[in-house]
């Protein structure tokens, strides 16, 4: 009697733990710098919903928007270590981890959105993603930030001359810093979490970001001028810790990849929408918006291109430019 009761108890305990295992849920921490309703937030909530659906809830994303886990460089370090599972980030600091990404940060490299998307979705973009695992990271997909424009508190930037001596916050990205130096500005690298206050207090005169980022962070509320310089396309990346990726079953890996594809569509759609509607929002708030002759700015980066050709290979740069 006693023995069979023990056996029944064992069976019950065993059954319980088996059902626990079946329902076990892994919660993955994902961080980013923009708000939950931004082009990054929409990408990650879509990604989270798709993963939950495709894995029957075995994987759940926990969202940390608006820099809650730190700046992009800090978060990348955490993803590399595995104390954070995922990040959606601009390529800003990524070149410090995977140097091969720097080539896509070159100004005036991409003609337009269609060109950039085609290159990143094609073999050139996919070859860059293949460089991540050697650094303890898995870049599951390109994402998008948009073409970057200069905002400032002093005057409209109409020609590169207007940038002379201006303190412009850039990302912690040497390719971008070289471009701003070539255009005569004083590039001041800083993580995104500090930008709003730096603009508000005048620590820097201006900054540069795409419309979706200017909107999400309400940067126009602390800047008088937005000049549509479109000086560089700013890609983003969805990156996971490699240890996490290696533990996923083949089926789960496929689910994550499919989820990322759907997230990318949502991300690009939001960038398109912000591009279509954002300037009106910014103007309505009283910020003056001006267009520029892009060719003047392109010419002003010529000395930086000498360095880019040396660092990233003239032929490699041409290969990207030649994608039609
Ligand atoms: O990733 O730091 C930046 O200016 C980025 O464009 C922003 O954090 C979005």
267 lines ligand 1 (CB under 6 A): no
Phi, psi of 116 (to 5 degrees): -60, -45
What's the pLDDT at 271? Answer: 98
Among 35, 70, 92, 96, say which to mutate for ligand 1: greatest number of ligand atoms within 8 Å of CB: 92
Residue with tokens 């089926």: 251
Average pLDDT over residues 291-317: 98
Average pLDDT over residues 119-146: 98
213 lines ligand 1 (CB under 6 A): yes
Q: Is the pLDDT of residue 4 over 60?
A: no
What's the pLDDT at 1? Answer: 44
Average pLDDT over residues 248-252: 98
Q: Which pLDDT band holds residue 6 (cuts at 50, 70, 90)?
A: low
Local structure of 13: helix, strand or coil: helix
Exposed (0-12), middle (13-18) or buried (19+): which is 247, by Cβ within 10 Å?
A: exposed
Cβ atoms < 10 Å from Cβ of 251:
10
Q: What are the structure tokens assigned to 102, written together?
A: 């720097």
Q: Is the pLDDT of residue 33 over 80?
A: yes
What's the pLDDT at 276? Answer: 98
Domain ranges of the chain: 24-321
209 lines ligand 1 (CB under 6 A): yes
Local structure of 185: helix, strand or coil: coil
> What confidence tens digit (pLDDT) does each residue in 68-104 have?
999 999 999 999 999 999 999 999 999 999 999 999 9
Alpha helical stretches, state H, the chain: 2-23, 39-54, 72-81, 113-121, 123-129, 174-182, 195-201, 211-216, 242-247, 250-284, 294-300, 302-308, 314-321
CA of 216 to the centre of ligand 1 (A): 11
CA of 192 to the centre of ligand 1 (A): 6
107 lines ligand 1 (CB under 6 A): no
Residue with tokens 């890609």: 235
Q: Is the pLDDT of residue 175 over 60?
A: yes
What are the C-alpha distances in Å from 47 to residues 191, 248, 267? Answer: 25, 16, 10
Q: What percent of the chain has pLDDT over 90?
A: 93
Q: Which pLDDT band holds residue 199 (cuts at 50, 70, 90)?
A: very high
192 lines ligand 1 (CB under 6 A): yes
> What confidence tens digit (pLDDT) does each residue in 152-164 have?
999 999 999 999 9
d(CA 40, CA 46): 10
CA of 209 to the centre of ligand 1 (A): 7
Find out whether 237 and 88 touch, Cβ atoms under 8 Å.
yes
> What confidence tens digit (pLDDT) does each residue in 179-198 have?
999 999 999 999 999 999 99
Q: Please state which of the four CATH numbers 3.40.190.170, 3.40.50.300, 3.40.50.1970, 3.60.21.10 is assigned to the domain occupying 24-321.
A: 3.40.190.170
What are the C-alpha distances in Å from 17 to residues 4, 8, 27, 299, 317? Answer: 20, 14, 19, 67, 56
Q: Residue 31: which of 43, 21, 22 has the closest Cα?
A: 43
Q: Which pLDDT band holds residue 134 (cuts at 50, 70, 90)?
A: very high
Q: Is the pLDDT of residue 18 over 70?
A: no
CA of 92 to the centre of ligand 1 (A): 7
66 lines ligand 1 (CB under 6 A): no
90 lines ligand 1 (CB under 6 A): yes
> What confidence tens digit (pLDDT) does each residue in 276-299 have?
999 999 999 999 999 999 999 999
d(CA 144, CA 174): 20
């Amino acid at each position: 009697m006693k023995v069979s009761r023990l056996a029944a108890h064992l069976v019950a305990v065993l059954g319980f733990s088996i059902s626990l295992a079946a329902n076990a849920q892994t919660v993955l921490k994902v961080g980013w710098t923009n708000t939950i309703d931004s082009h990054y937030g929409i990408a990650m909530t879509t990604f989270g919903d798709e993963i939950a659906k495709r894995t029957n809830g075995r994987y759940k994303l926990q969202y940390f928007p608006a820099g809650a886990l730190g700046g992009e460089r800090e978060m990348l370090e955490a993803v590399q270590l595995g104390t954070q599972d995922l990040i959606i980030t601009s390529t800003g600091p990524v070149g410090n981890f995977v140097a091969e990404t720097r080539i896509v940060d070159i100004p005036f490299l991409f003609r337009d959105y269609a060109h950039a998307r085609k290159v990143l979705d094609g073999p050139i973009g996919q070859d860059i993603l293949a460089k991540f695992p050697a650094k303890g990271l898995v870049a599951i997909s390109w994402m998008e930030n948009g073409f970057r424009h200069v905002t400032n508190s002093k005057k409209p930037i109409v020609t590169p001359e207007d940038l002379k001596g201006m303190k412009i916050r850039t990302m912690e990205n040497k390719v971008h810093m070289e471009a701003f130096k070539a255009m005569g500005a004083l590039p001041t690298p800083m993580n995104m979490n500090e930008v709003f206050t730096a603009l508000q207090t005048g620590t820097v005169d201006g900054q540069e970001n795409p419309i979706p980022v200017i909107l999400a962070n309400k940067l126009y509320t602390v800047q008088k001028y937005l000049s549509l310089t479109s000086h560089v396309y700013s890609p983003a990346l969805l990156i996971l810790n490699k240890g996490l990726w290696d533990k996923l079953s083949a089926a789960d890996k496929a689910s994550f990849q499919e989820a990322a594809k759907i997230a990318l569509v949502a991300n690009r759609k939001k960038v398109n929408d912000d591009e279509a509607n954002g300037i009106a929002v910014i103007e309505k708030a009283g910020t003056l918006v001006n267009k520029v002759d892009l060719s003047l700015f392109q010419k002003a980066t010529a000395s930086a291109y000498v360095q880019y050709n040396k660092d990233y290979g003239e032929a490699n740069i041409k290969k990207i430019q030649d994608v039609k």
